[in-house]
Amino acid sequence: MLQPTLPMPAPDRRAPPPRPSPALLLVEVSDATSFNRLAEREAMRSRRDGRMMAVLQLQLREEPDLLHRASPLAFEQALADGARRLRGGIRSTDTLARWQATQFGVLLPGCDRADAAGVLARLIGGASGPYGQEGVRLRLHVTGEVQRCL
């Protein structure tokens, strides 16, 4: 005898809120406010898991050279290389975000203020320095701060 089948529930039509994938090199956000919303969402997730989360904010700038200035393309390529260096300095579970081309934020789940300061120093040291683009060497200077621990 055939069993009656129950109707399948309708799929949920609402899209889930975006969540950065740990595998992404970089999450692009529109501005600092969007980054702060992302940080709050990830902080709620960390609190549910009983962990802290640190938030870093970084800025990459070209160090001026009195003899020449790099082309915009060379500067963009250096920023992309800088993002790769930043990504290489954090765990796969951390999130690296960028807005306004030179502003970066890092979300460090499970990280307290003291450890965040060490990560910040490592990121500044690893991403600051010379970059070779289009036969022109330019230097990026990285500054940053531990914005907060949630």
Look at 136 and 55; give whichever has higher pLDDT: 55
CA distance 107 to 57: 9
Look at 107 and 66; give whichever has higher pLDDT: 107
Mean pLDDT of the region 102-114: 94
Backbone angle region of 5, left / alpha / beta, with phi > 0 → left and psi within -120 to 50 → alpha: beta
How crowded is residue 61: how many other Cβ atoms within 10 Å of its Cβ? 12
Range scoring the smallest mean pLDDT among 11-15, 64-68, 122-126: 11-15
- pTM, to two decimals: 0.79
